[in-house]
Amino acid sequence: MDASLSEDASQVRIPVTVLTGVLGAGKTTLLRYILEKPHGYRVAVIQNEFSEEMGMEAPLFTDANGDTIKDVYELPNGCLCCSAKDGLIGMLDVLLEHKNRFDYVLVEATGIADPEAVCEVFWVDEGLGSRVYLDGVLSLVDAYNMSSYLGKRKASHGYPEEGAKSTSLGLEAEAIKQVACADVLILNKVDLVAEADRARAAAMLREINPTARLLESRFAEVPLGEILGLQAFDKDRLAASVLGLPVLEEREEGGHGHAHSHSDGHCNDCEAGKLLGAHGIESVLLQGEAGALYDPNKVRSWLAEVLWEGTAGFVYRCKGLFRGPPEDEEDPPEQTTIVSHALQGVGKIFEIEQAGKATVERSKMLFIGRGLQRDVLAAGLKACLASD
């Protein structure tokens, strides 16, 4: 091989795209779309989660044959802009050793990440800057639920009162900052809103961020040429957008944002519960008994009560993987296969579907919201056990 050519190839800097979006906006849906469909783009994905329990989707990434995709790199336990920052740099280092396998890196941040702080990783670490560059920041916005987290702005836009209710998620500052910092905004879930609401939502985004490219999508299906390889990131623009935010002072006075406390090099506030708790948001993780099977129809009815009638507090986001009874009960026991089911819910909309080839050792369900009643949730799940 020509030595000068291989040297040139090794000097090519890899574009990195940062993906943000409030809980349930559709970030994982976008990753699945990118990874599972044959677009011709070779993309490595790094997924950041608050905790391992929240990373329930990785087993669900499957290729065209239905086999689990192994090339999704998980970065649990913390947020990218703080405790997981070193992990991100280390993971990029490892990825770059195999850079003949991909042309783009996509980094999914947690739903409450501060995109400005995530971006700083790329210019603060000089070694990294010579091998990768920040290509752009994407922000996904949930057109259907956005009034739950951008609610306070509804007055100036005439955004409908209906839907805001008392169910604000309390992530307004984070959500606005994610929109403001974006080079590309994707207004997702447009299938769930009427045309007038879609136009109002787009106008609201335009007011917060007039310069970003604005795309609209159903199930995050966007042309990849519109989101990758754009060379869109501009440090000065980012600084200007952030300065213009009225909520910036509020973040600093409020003492959340990045006023995290540390000990022994560990960020005390980056644990899932504390990070969410700093925003008044709670999470409840339910784990089924080992070997227990849950009836998907019972789970469906139970969740309808929980999400629609608020019987266990205000649940904004739920997700889980659970074990259901074998499909064909006529089969002899040695031939029956336990069916795994995936639960996904955002706001009042939820779905339960069979989880491909994902095997679930123990059922898990995570609820995120406010005023959650753990005991009520636990009793509800127990009542969904499949009868023998």
Ligand X SMILES: Nc1nc2c(ncn2[C@@H]2O[C@H](COP(=O)(O)OP(=O)(O)OP(=O)(O)O)[C@@H](O)[C@H]2O)c(=O)[nH]1
Chain residues binding ligand X by CB under 6 A are 21, 23-29, 111, 188-189, 191-192, 218-220, 317, 344, 346, 351
CB of 81: closest distance to ligand X in angstroms?
A: 16
Q: How far apart are the C-alpha atoms of 44 and 75, rounded to whole Å?
A: 13
Taking a C-beta distance cutoff of 8 angstroms, is the pair 218, 210 a contact?
A: no
Instruction: Sort strands 364-370 and 314-324 into parallel, antiparallel or unpaired.
Output: antiparallel
Nearer to ligand X by Cβ, of 177 and 317: the residue is 317
Complex with ligand X: residue 167 or 344, whichever CB lies closer: 344
Rounded distance between C-alpha atoms, residue 119 and residue 16, angstroms: 10
C-beta of 109 vs 119, nearer to ligand X: 109
If the CB atoms of residues 200 and 317 are measured against ligand X, the closer one turns out to be 317
Return phi, psi of residue 14, to 5°. -90, 130
Contact present, 281 and 369 (Cβ < 8 Å): yes
Contact in structure between 201 and 77 (CB atoms under 8 Å) = no
CB 25, min distance to ligand X, A: 4
Nearer to ligand X, 141 or 245 (CB): 141
Give the shortest CB-351-to-ligand X separation in angstroms. 5
The CA radius of gyration of the chain, in Å to the nearest whole number, is 21
Q: How many CB atoms are closer than 10 A to CB 231? A: 11
In the complex, the smallest distance separating the C-beta of residue 286 from ligand X, rounded to whole angstroms, is 16
Minimum distance from CB of 160 to ligand X (Å)? Answer: 19
- Write down the least CB distance from residue 47 to ligand X, Å: 9
Instruction: Please identify, using beta-carbon distances, which residue of 220 and 293 lies nearer to ligand X.
Output: 220
Shortest reach from residue 342's CB to ligand X, in Å: 9
d(CA 23, CA 141) in angstroms, rounded, equals 10
Question: What is the rounded distance in angstroms from the CA atom of residue 253 to the CA atom of residue 46?
Answer: 32
Q: Which is nearer to ligand X, 143 or 293 (CB)?
A: 143
Cβ-based burial of 126 (10 A; exposed 0-12, middle 13-18, buried ≥19): exposed
**Positive/negative CA dihedral, 125, 128, 132, 138:** negative
The DSSP bridge partners found for residue 370 are: 314
